[in-house]
Structure 1
Amino acid sequence: MGKKGFDTKQKMIEVMASLLEGSGYEATGLTELGKETGTPKGSLYFHFPGGKEELTSLAIEYSGKQLNDFFLTIFDNSDTPTHAIKQVFHALEERIVSSDYQKGCPIATTAMETAGKSPLVSNACKEVYNLWLKTFESYLSSNGYNIRVAKNLSLSILSLWEGALLLTKLQKSPEPLRMAEKTAESLLKQI
């Protein structure tokens, strides 16, 4: 595949990632993707012989890696785990509010819609969550938390943020994210 083909494929992955975050798997159609990317439907099957499921799994992986890289940047630029987690929550709040409550977690909606229906997509979602958990665990353990505590904190913080994003989106208010941030901060300080 030449550079133009690679660029087209990458563009389709990135646009699909954005569409999934805003609308979810079921509401994201291939016609819409074609309009957004300026490519015919046949291009989808040329680049993604597995169709919508293959494209979705790659879009999920792309979104997950993008957000993971963002976490790593925050961690590298934070003095303490408490500061880092506060920065993560602030960034999530800014992201969802600036999108007029359209964007939340780039994975959650698709994960819920495809659980038990599409093993390929569900596995991609699972792998992204595992990546994020490992990133948080590694960061916390490198900052003095023992491995078991780092693992428990990572799962708790991820659960807090996912639930808060959902409620923030539904209520069109940043308050759930702000409360979850305070809870995450308390968890980090208690241990």
Structure 2
Amino acid sequence: MPAVPKHRQPVINAAVTLFRRQGYSRTGLNDIVDVSGAPKGSLYHYFPDGKSSIAVAAVEEAGRRVAATVAGLAEECGSTAELLRAHARLLAGWMRGSGFRNGCPITTVLLELAPRERAVAEAGRKAYAARIALLRDRLIADGFARPRAESLAVLCTSALQGALIQARVERSGRPIEVTAAELARLIETETGR
């Protein structure tokens, strides 16, 4: 029976936290070791290709977390508009809770590494695709045709990512909340709700 990868997940969790807070370049391997509590050799054991392979794993993990959050909200909310407003409240709350130090670990890494690090860019593409698919499916359930639902899902994802950056710069949750409210209004107008 193979050994359980004891330190792999703590390394990934530490990388997600650190990349969210300070970006990829400002995060050193020693920072990841310190936050994860893993021995330094674990980094080389689990991530033999170095820091960029940790970035791939961190982007994949962050993508799973976001997708789980959006999927949970899709189940709880009666419409995409409600989902967007609820997600905005969560995002704005998380940003406020961090003193606006935290950003999206996916976006912070991608801004620094894509497109030169293809594996990181591909992990980011998959993370965004999962979120877009969840929103698209929710929009289809709201009565949108698939092509329009796909376009709106891309718009919602892109706008909220931009709002996260703006919120961090302005040190306010308002850009996130305004963006979600406007997206929700657009969707409600199109569905006649």
TM over 0.5: yes
Tell me how far apart the structure 2 counterparts of residues 13 and 163 of structure 1 sit (CA, whole Å): 25
Give 2:184's aligned residue.
Answer: 185
**Separation (CA, whole Å) in 2 of partners of 1:116 and 1:153:** 25
User: CA RMSD, aligned part only?
Assistant: 1.2
Q: Which residue is 2:80 aligned to?
A: 81
Is residue 132 of structure 2 the alignment partner of residue 138 of structure 1? no
The equivalent residue for 1:113 is 112
Partners of 1:109 and 1:38 lie apart in 2 by 23
Contact 1:25-1:109 within 8 A present in 2 as well: yes
- Sequence identity (%): 24
* Segment of structure 1 superposing worse, 38-47 or 74-83: 38-47
Show the counterpart of 2:20. Answer: 21
Matched residues in 2 for 1:69 and 1:182: separation? 22
Look up the match of 2:3.
2
Give me the whole-angstrom Cα distance separating, in 2, the residues matched to 1:138 and 1:80.
Answer: 11
Match runs of 1:93-172 below 5 Å: 93-172=92-171
Is the 8 Å Cα contact of residues 95 and 104 (structure 1) preserved in structure 2?
Answer: no
Gaps of 5+ in 1: none
Structure 1 residue runs of 4+, over 4 Å off? none
CA distance in 2, matches of 1:21, 1:56: 11
Structure 1 residue 68 corresponds to structure 2 residue 58: no
Distance 2:100 2:6 in 1: 30
Equivalents in 1 of 2:75, 2:167: separation in Å? 27
Equivalent AA in structure 1 for residue 104 of structure 2? C
1:34-53 equivalences under 5 Å are 34-53=33-52
**Normalised TM-score (structure 2):** 0.93
Give per-residue Cα distances to partners, 1:45-79, cap 9 Å, x unaligned: 11111111111101110111011001110110111
**Structure-2 separation of matches of 1:185 and 1:94:** 19
SS in 1 for 2:6: helix
Contact 1:153 1:187 in 2 (8 A): no
Using the TM superposition, give the Cα deviation of residue 41 of structure 1 relative to its aligned residue in structure 2, in angstroms: 2.3
For 2:89 and 2:170, locate their aligned partners in 1 and report how far apart those are by CA, in whole Å.
17
Normalization by structure 1: what TM-score? Answer: 0.94
The 1:87–1:69 alpha-carbon spacing in structure 2 relative to 1, beyond 3 Å, is: same
Matches of 1:104 and 1:75, distance apart in 2:
23
Question: Partners in 2 of 1:160 and 1:85 — Cα distance?
Answer: 11
Structure 1 Cα separation of the partners of residues 170 and 163 of structure 2 = 10
CA–CA distance in 2 between the matches of 1:183 and 1:159?
13
SS in 2 for 1:100: coil
Contact 1:22–1:102, Cα closer than 8 Å, also in 2: yes
Task: Give the counterpart letter for 2:165 in structure 1.
Answer: L
